[in-house]
Structure 1
């Protein structure tokens, strides 16, 4: 990434932690229509060394004792971190997301075996998948907004540790209650990673590179969940081995958790400047030094208003967030429905339980292809638009791949559903295009939400994950009933018709998005 070169980089933030943006990324936040809380006075100063950060050469005296960035090239600013450091940061945090999604669905193939072992109906053991997803609903209520207040790393670390710890009672549990409760709390803690990663990437990258980074984390949400049924089918091939679904989740979480110790650092500008001020107070003996955000005491009512109720207020007042959440929820739920649909469709051909999970490889290839397509689009057309404009394009310029995905997905679902009586290769190829279509919708959709809300994105993504998970958690429960009653063909057709109904959304927002954003109290103008 090219470091900002202008000494007039802008500090932005309205009712959210402020951070210094690179010179080519200058969204202007609008004030919320509601009454401002006292915490809104905590903006950080601009990095202009000739204006707000006047300091002596010995580094001991800041203007008004307010500690800010040491100019636009301050190496502590996340935008100025070395490219390799940021690359490892993105890879490891995205891998943790893949671990969380892997754990959510790896248990699915073991439902029949564990139902027989514990002598309960199979629907009870399918709750193990649903409760993990339901945990995604509970966690972001606190994790996302609290990351804006206390920083990203603390929330991320709590999430990783909690996810790992709760795998132990699942692996060692001797009753259904233990397994179900601990899988729920695994989802709760795992959602910590989901809740903060988008905010991390906003701090690290300008829009072009951020699109690639968000694409990687977005496919990891679904890539882990797609690999998991294959792994779960082979791990659970024998009755005594189902516990290894938890051990496997624990092992990969521990590996990437240890990697995070060496690669993931605090990326919240608010917390970095607070820590910098604390360090300078001891180094210089000037106890008046402080970050701008430390000037205002944040009371409990501010925390509740700004951080705990903010995601809910955003969802009920933001049509962009509401419509995209509905669309991405359908996409996300379709993926989880496929965990039952694909094995059912191929077992009807006489395939074994293990073999019937292998077509998920085709879905996985489609997911990876979608990220490649999205990345190429971002680094070519999107980047060229930014170069011509001399500024980041509006968020709507993220949407062309989503339009393509909306066109690809419905016929792919119909293709899969109605090709059960022809050669299996036909359904396998259709599976590839289902994965491609799903992710071409999902990845740009996430990027669009983040671009629209910028430093409110943690709260926006929190409520998005909450709603998405609350609805999607029911999909594994009715999947088999749906496919048994309607059959693979008509069940897939029903999903296709729903997707057709929502497919116009990115087209409409591409045309009218700027006007719709003008109604928003949280969107950033570009």
Structure 2
């Protein structure tokens, strides 16, 4: 939940890079928080993110309404200490990494588990596909409900659910148990991804937010890239069951750290708790937060919140096209989990060693985050300082444009370098990972900046569509690469990526006009 970008960019721009995790901002009038969506449930001052403002209560306002105690209110998430913010970002991004890790760690174990259970390989390939399919089922509930009940409860519910379902995977004695529990682990894990973007939107203004969102975005794919390397050694040196035990250990360790570092960031819930506390401290039972004046009925929850992601996706061309592009990027990465080992096994490398080139992809992903962070703290910041109006979401897109232009050549490089020295394909994998993440990080940041207080709903439907389309990829990857070969199969992916190249360019040029048609965008100026 957030305020207009203008105030955020003004404050963010006044800071040096060394202070990008700090946050203090001037007050903003509550009229700035208008939305053309259902008016009777529109955000009010305590429903919104304090958006770097933590505004004083309006002159003449009801004294019984509890709001922020001025711009410096320490309870406002934007005013938390830099260390508190950083620790929260690291922990929650780490949790995203564990969800992503769990999705693909089973991939190297598919053949071993299929032989143990006596089933065809394609049955065990469902373990990855069903986890990703679980991402389709979870966000449509976790994301919207976090806008009603705050971010903390859905976050911990999702984390606990994913951890619990690792136990029957590790102990399961039949294929049905493993497959069903892999699906439900994905359902709960997706809740973490759906909620975290909204958390970061509450914590930071646009410039540091780009760095935080970039970290969470690379963790979505970094965990899935590390997992095949770890999974191959776990499977062949220990047991395929250790893929689940390892996921549980990582999630448990992060949960323990999170009990000390993860806090509620929803302005709605913080002010409600503040009002409740002050009622007992002052014995003034009339004190309340502004959100408590609006009664939310069950049909409101269904109509406004649970169906909002679907309504947004149907009505928003920006959300539709960016989601399709990021789905292609996401699917390409998951196809690479099959393609990259196949390419090196054709060179005569053993199964475990053939997964090591994924380290190049990991380095590419980390390089993309570094590049996007530098971009946010230089070009984006300088542009925000120069403008007299709000910072435009389209200013997030130059890295996406660059990645889109360079991704097809990177895929073609990998495709047709199978007969030369192996280092050539490893370098191609590095640039593939780099360009995939330049697109992915910028796309995620753009969605969040465009939809602001509806960021969780937008991200929810984005994850749903991305996962629904991507979930079959692990099933046909082997068939695709066996029939077409590494060269032509990767060339098909390059062609699809070429088709999507114009999308970010058109949004950079015409995005402001497109946003002016939106019912959900809060950045239509």
The aligned residue for residue 14 of structure 2 is none
Q: 1:502 to 1:241 in 2, by over 3 A?
A: same
Q: 1:499 to 1:41 in 2, by over 3 A?
A: closer
1:389 deviates by 1.8
Tell me which of 309, 322, 325 is aligned to 2:323: 325
The aligned residue for residue 187 of structure 1 is 186
1:234 deviates by 0.5
Distance 1:5 1:402 in 2: 29
Q: Which runs of 4+ in 1 moved over 6 A?
A: none
Q: What aligned pairs does 1:431-446 form with structure 2 within 5 A after superposition?
A: 431-446=429-444
Tell me which of 269, 290, 293 is aligned to 1:292: 290
Task: Verify: 1:468 aligned to 2:466, yes or no.
Answer: yes
Distance 1:370 1:434 in 2: 11
1:48 deviates by 4.6
The aligned residue for residue 259 of structure 1 is 257
Q: What aligned pairs does 1:68-147 form with structure 2 within 5 A after superposition?
A: 68-147=67-146
Tell me which of 335, 338, 346 is aligned to 1:337: 335
1:201 deviates by 0.6
- In structure 2, the gaps of 5 or more residues are 1-20, 48-52
Give the structure-2-normalised TM-score. Answer: 0.93
Kindly report the root-mean-square deviation, in angstroms, between the aligned alpha carbons of the 2 structures. 1.5
The aligned residue for residue 161 of structure 2 is 162
- What SS does structure 2 have at the residue aligned with 1:524? coil
Distance 1:5 1:399 in 2: 25
Tell me which of 382, 385, 405 is aligned to 1:384: 382
Asked whether the 8 Å contact 1:417–1:488 carries over to 2, the reply is yes
Q: 1:2 to 1:359 in 2, by over 3 A?
A: closer
The aligned residue for residue 228 of structure 1 is 227
- What SS does structure 2 have at the residue aligned with 1:315? helix
1:405 deviates by 0.3
* Partner deviation per Cα, 1:424-464 (whole Å, 9 max, x = no partner): 11100000000001000000000000000001000000000
1:47 deviates by 5.1
Task: Verify: 1:9 aligned to 2:9, yes or no.
Answer: no
* Partner deviation per Cα, 1:40-64 (whole Å, 9 max, x = no partner): 375439955473597xxxxxxxx43
Distance 1:524 1:406 in 2: 27
Asked whether the 8 Å contact 1:29–1:522 carries over to 2, the reply is no
Distance 1:332 1:370 in 2: 15
Task: Verify: 1:422 aligned to 2:414, yes or no.
Answer: no
The aligned residue for residue 16 of structure 1 is none
Distance 1:52 1:175 in 2: 66
Tell me which of 35, 38, 41 is aligned to 1:39: 41
- In structure 1, the gaps of 5 or more residues are 13-26, 55-62
Tell me which of 288, 296, 303 is aligned to 1:305: 303
Distance 1:333 1:282 in 2: 53
Asked whether the 8 Å contact 2:136–2:464 carries over to 1, the reply is yes
Give the structure-1-normalised TM-score. Answer: 0.93
